[in-house]
Every structure is written in C-alpha cells, then in structure tokens.
C-alpha cells in the first residue's frame, strides 16, 4: 500500500506535558496535534501504547492488545464527573523534564480506583451498555488480560511461571475460584481498559479531524510475562511449566558488540500456521482499528529471526531461522484487505527481507544518521532512496541529531557537512531539510530535532535499561519551536496534504 507524500513528527504520549508526572491523553495531546496541523504536518507517530513492564519500555508489555492505562488523563475524568477537581489536584506532581513514573503510578492508581468505583456506582444505562459493547468487541483478549493482571497482583508481581501451578497452567477449576475471589479487581482492570480506549479513540478522532494521520507501532515479539503467553502458551516456545526455551534478539550490530538479548519467547510458527494465524490476524485487526497505519518493528524477523537458547548470557551464540514470510502476510491480507504497514527494515537486511517487503509494497525506513560513511552507494544516502520509503533523521533508538553529530567521528562529521554543503552549525535543520527534499514518500522526525535538543533529551539507548523512555517537554518548549520554518519546509518540498 502506497502512502501520499507527507511529513510528520515522532512523539510518544508519555513525553507530553502534564501535571501528573508523565504525559497522557488529555488536553496537552490536543495541543501537540494542533502543533502538527499548524505546521502543515499530517503524520503523528507514536511508540507502542501497550501497558509497560520492567523499565517502562513500551516494547516490553504485559499485553499485545491492552492499552497503557497510565496514559488516562485525570483531567478528563474530572470533566466526566468521575473525579472531583480537588481529588485530581491532590495527585499533581512537581513538573520535571523527565517522566516520574514511580510517583505518577502511585498517584494515578489512587485516582483511578476512585473513578472506577464511581463509574460502577453511578453509570447510566447508556454507559453500562457501552461497557458491555466494549467487552464484547474485545473478547479475544480483554478477559485474559484482566485476569492476568489480577493474578499478577495476587502473586506480588512475580512472573506467571512462578505462580501457583494450577493458575500457571490455567486449570479451569482454579481459574473459576480465583475469578470469584477477585471479581472487584477484574472489574477495575476492565474499566481501566474501557476508559483508556475511550480516551484514545477521542484523541485519534481529533487528530483525523485536523488532517493528521496516526502512525502506530507493533513490536514483532511479546514479553514472556504477558497475558498473551500465559493465555496462549502453545503459540510460544515455552515448556509445560511456562519457562522459556528459545528467545529473541539480534546478533552483534551497530548498537552492540554482543548483540541484543531481548529475552522474548520466540513463536511456535508451526502451531500458529495450523490455526491459520488467527492470533496474528486479531492483533493486526485491532492495530488497524487503533491507527491509520502501523510501523512493524523488527520486520526482518518475519523473513528470518535470530534464535537464541534461553540459557545464553548474550546474543552472540544464536542462529538465523526462517520465519513465516509471505504465508503470514498473505493470510492477513486475505482476511483484512489492504495492509497500511511501514516495515522497520534496519539492521542486517537480506534479499529475502527486501523481497518480502517489496512484494507487499511496504515502505522501508531510511535513517540519515547512518548515511555518512565513506560509501557513496550507502542506501541511507538520499540519492539512493526509492520513492516508497520513510526517511528519518533518527528514531527513538538513536541519539538526537545534535547529539549524534557531536559524538560522531570527525570524518563522518566532514561528510555530513560536505553532503549538506553547510558548516554543521545547524546540523539538525540541515538533515531535516535533506529528508524533506528527498524522494521518500514520508519524512518523519523526532520532536527533539525540531526543538534543537542534544543528547540529554534522548529517548532510548538500546542495550541499556536505565534512564530510558523518560524524555518530556514543557509547554513553552513546544511554543518556541520554529513553526514557520517547519511550515516553510513542508510546503517547499510538496509535503502538505490538502
């Protein structure tokens, strides 16, 4: 599926300003969308919106389907009458330029318990009907997820393979007894998901009303400690006790000399194929409902994936194994129709990966930070781009452009200056301009680059677990961003969508 020539910004909702320790889906999200519309941009790219586990990574989630309820805006709950203004005010946290997840979670848990209790006590017949419709529409995953979180809490947040064995193995009698004893918690988790999706759909509708398409993100793998693996162990490489057998990662590369040992359990693709890939069909069905298009993270894993024994300490001793390839995407396309997918095709790319991407006309990704080695045939240099691709300065895994340039070898800096015919003093704007001028159908840039920010504002450093996913901006930072310059470049390069 081809996308129109356009431009956009990468910014995750946790980065928005708010009074509650982390960004959310409230009015500051609308302010950001207004910024996009006012600068003639038409794409908002987000990271996965799923609930985060250890390290607050959106790529390590308790569910491939559920929403991160901490993105719920308390201010919107006040507007709905589910919280009193003074209750919300009592949960406010002194503003910092990094997300204060620990205190935010504590305060929001308290507020959300109050709001959920009021909802169940005073919901109108229409609201009750909407809740039942939500439960029916999401029956593929909702019940398993809410039950999983209730079990997790009852076991002091220990992974599911360390629970009581009857619950680990989902013994029907044990499940019924646990459900009966924990009805209130399960209802609470259900409301959280109901409210999250209500707020998300409202934000997406607002974005679309301002001619902004929302680009989501789907990680290829799911976390071991997730409702997905617990509820569907036959689809994953785990043993009868729930322990991982084979796990995912990538071999040594640009980011790490020992590779990246992600630890996600690999899929049992044979079993998934026998079930006509129904789990994957439902996953993509939901994603296409939540977003206008999606970026598929680690796309190359569908052609071949790096398989590592679960007892390995790093990712060096792995091997490439053939993935489901065309069979999977043909099945999904037959069921769902056109697939508005962008393929994250970075890293070790083979002719097989390129064929899989191109046969379905999925645009790939081009990263300008990777362009300036000594090879004029480098595929990340704009003069080598195909039209059907998406150009970035960098992604959430890269340094900011200013940070990248300052830490790059002098030879690389020189080639960047030579290619842009500048002195490098505004290297972030020069690479933005370069991407805008390229033939790539889409040009998307991290908000930090539009804001002229350095390394201290980086979102994530792959292979590390500390101080990631925390970056936030203040309202004045967005207000002082050079909107006129962005608007000029969008129109100069024919990227405005009327």
Tokens of 60: 């390590």
Percentage of residues of the chain with pLDDT beyond 70:
99
Q: What is the mean pLDDT of the chain?
A: 96
Among candidate residues 46, 33, 7, the one with its CA nearest the CA of residue 205: 33
Burial of 193 (0-12, 13-18, 19+ CB in 10 A): buried
Domain residue extents for the chain: 6-492
Q: How confident is the model at residue 260 (pLDDT cuts 50, 70, 90)?
A: confident
Looking up tokens 């005073």, which residue turns up?
Answer: 122
Judged against a pLDDT cut of 90, whether residue 25 lies above it is answered with yes
Q: What's residue 272's pLDDT?
A: 98
Return d(Cα 279, Cα 22) in angstroms, integer: 32
Q: Is the dihedral of CA 230, 233, 238, 239 positive or negative?
A: positive
What pLDDT, on the 0 to 100 scale, is given for residue 298? 94
Strand ranges across the sheet with 43-45? 341-343, 293-296, 213-218, 43-45, 6-10, 442-446, 389-392, 364-367
pLDDT at 159: 96
Tens digit of each residue's pLDDT (9 = 90 or more) over 312-326:
999 999 999 999 999
Q: pLDDT tens for residues 49-68?
A: 999 988 899 999 999 999 99
Instruction: Give the per-residue pLDDT at 54.
Output: 81
Q: How confident is the model at residue 1 (pLDDT cuts 50, 70, 90)?
A: low
The per-residue pLDDT for range 156-165, each reduced to its tens digit, is: 999 999 999 9
pLDDT at 481 over 90: yes
Beta bridge mates, 320: 306
For the purposes of burial, counting CB atoms within 10 Å of the CB of 66, is it exposed (0-12), middle (13-18) or buried (19 or more)?
buried
- The arithmetic mean of pLDDT across residues 253-261, rounded, is 82
| Predicted local confidence at residue 252, as pLDDT | 86
Which element (helix H / strand E) includes 416? Answer: helix 410-420
What is the tally of helices (H) and strands (E) in the chain? 20, 12
**What residues are labeled active site?**
297, 344, 397
Q: Is the pLDDT of residue 374 over 80?
A: yes
6-492 carries CATH number 3.20.20.80? yes
Q: How confident is the model at residue 255 (pLDDT cuts 50, 70, 90)?
A: low
pLDDT tens-digit map of 179-194: 999 999 999 999 999 9
The C-alpha atoms of residue 63 and residue 287 are separated, in whole angstroms, by 13
Residue 370 has pLDDT above 80, yes or no: yes
DSSP per residue, 141-168 = THHHHHHHHHHHHHTTT--GGGS-HHHH
- 251: alpha, beta or left? (left if phi > 0; alpha if psi -120 to 50): beta
Span 374-402, mean pLDDT? 97
Residue with tokens 């629970």: 163
Mean pLDDT check: name the lowest of 248-252, 415-419, 493-497: 248-252
Question: Nearest CA to 61 among 50, 71, 70?
Answer: 50
Torsion, CA 429, CA 98, CA 19, CA 41, rounded to 10: 20
Taking only the tens place, the pLDDT of each residue in 217-233 is: 999 999 999 999 999 99
Helix/strand/coil for 390: strand
Contacts with 112 (C-beta within 8 Å, 6 or more apart), sequence order: 69, 72, 188, 192
Digit-coded pLDDT (tens) for 291-309: 999 999 999 999 999 999 9
């Amino acid at each position: 599926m081809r996308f129109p020539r356009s431009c956009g910004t990468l910014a995750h909702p946790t980065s928005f300003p708010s009074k509650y320790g982390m960004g959310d889906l409230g009015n500051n999200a609308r302010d950001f969308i207004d910024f996009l519309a006012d600068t003639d941009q038409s794409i908002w790219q987000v990271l996965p919106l799923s609930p985060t586990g250890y390290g607050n990574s959106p790529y390590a989630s308790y569910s491939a389907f559920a929403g991160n309820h901490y993105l719920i805006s308390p201010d919107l709950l006040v507007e709905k009458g589910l919280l009193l203004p003074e209750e919300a005010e009592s949960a406010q946290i002194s503003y910092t330029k990094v997300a204060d997840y620990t205190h935010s979670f504590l305060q929001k848990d308290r507020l959300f318990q109050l709001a959920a209790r009021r909802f169940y006590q005073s919901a109108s017949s229409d609201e009750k009907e909407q809740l039942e419709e939500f439960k029916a529409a999401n029956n593929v995953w909702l019940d398993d997820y809410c039950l999983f979180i209730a079990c997790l809490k009852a076991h002091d947040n220990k992974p599911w393979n360390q629970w009581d064995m009857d619950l680990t193995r989902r013994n029907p009698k044990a499940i019924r007894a646990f459900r009966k004893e924990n009805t209130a918690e399960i209802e609470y988790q259900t409301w959280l998901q109901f409210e999250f999706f209500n707020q998300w759909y409202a934000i997406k509708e607002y974005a679309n009303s301002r001619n902004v398409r929302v680009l989501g993100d789907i990680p290829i793998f799911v976390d071991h400690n997730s409702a997905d693996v617990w509820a569907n162990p036959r689809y994953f490489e785990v043993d009868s006790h729930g322990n991982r057998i084979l796990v995912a990662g990538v071999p040594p590369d640009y980011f790490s000399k020992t590779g990246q040992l992600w630890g996600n359990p690999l899929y049992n693709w044979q079993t998934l194929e026998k079930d006509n890939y129904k789990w994957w069909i439902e996953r993509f069905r939901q994603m296409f409902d939540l977003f206008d298009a999606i970026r598929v993270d680690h796309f190359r894993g569908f052609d071949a994936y790096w398989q590592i024994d679960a007892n390995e300490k790093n990712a060096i001793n792995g091997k490439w194994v053939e993935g489901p390839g065309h069979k999977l995407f043909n099945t999904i396309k037959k069921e769902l129709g056109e697939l508005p997918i962008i393929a994250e095709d970075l890293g070790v790319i083979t002719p097989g990966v390129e064929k899989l991407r191109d046969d379905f006309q999925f645009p790939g990704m081009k990263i300008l930070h990777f362009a300036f080695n000594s090879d004029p045939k480098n595929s990340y240099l704009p003069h080598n781009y195909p039209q059907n691709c998406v150009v970035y300065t960098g992604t959430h895994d890269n340094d900011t452009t200013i940070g990248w340039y300052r830490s790059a070898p002098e030879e690389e800096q020189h080639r960047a200056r030579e290619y842009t015919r500048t002195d490098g003093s505004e290297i972030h704007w020069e690479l933005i301009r370069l991407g805008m001028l390229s033939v790539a159908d889409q040009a998307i840039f991290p908000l930090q680059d539009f804001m002229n920010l350095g390394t201290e504002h980086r979102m994530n450093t792959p292979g590390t677990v500390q101080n990631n996913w925390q970056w936030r901006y203040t309202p004045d930072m967005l207000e002082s961003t050079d909107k006129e310059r962005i608007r000029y470049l969008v129109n100069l390069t024919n990227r405005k969508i009327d």
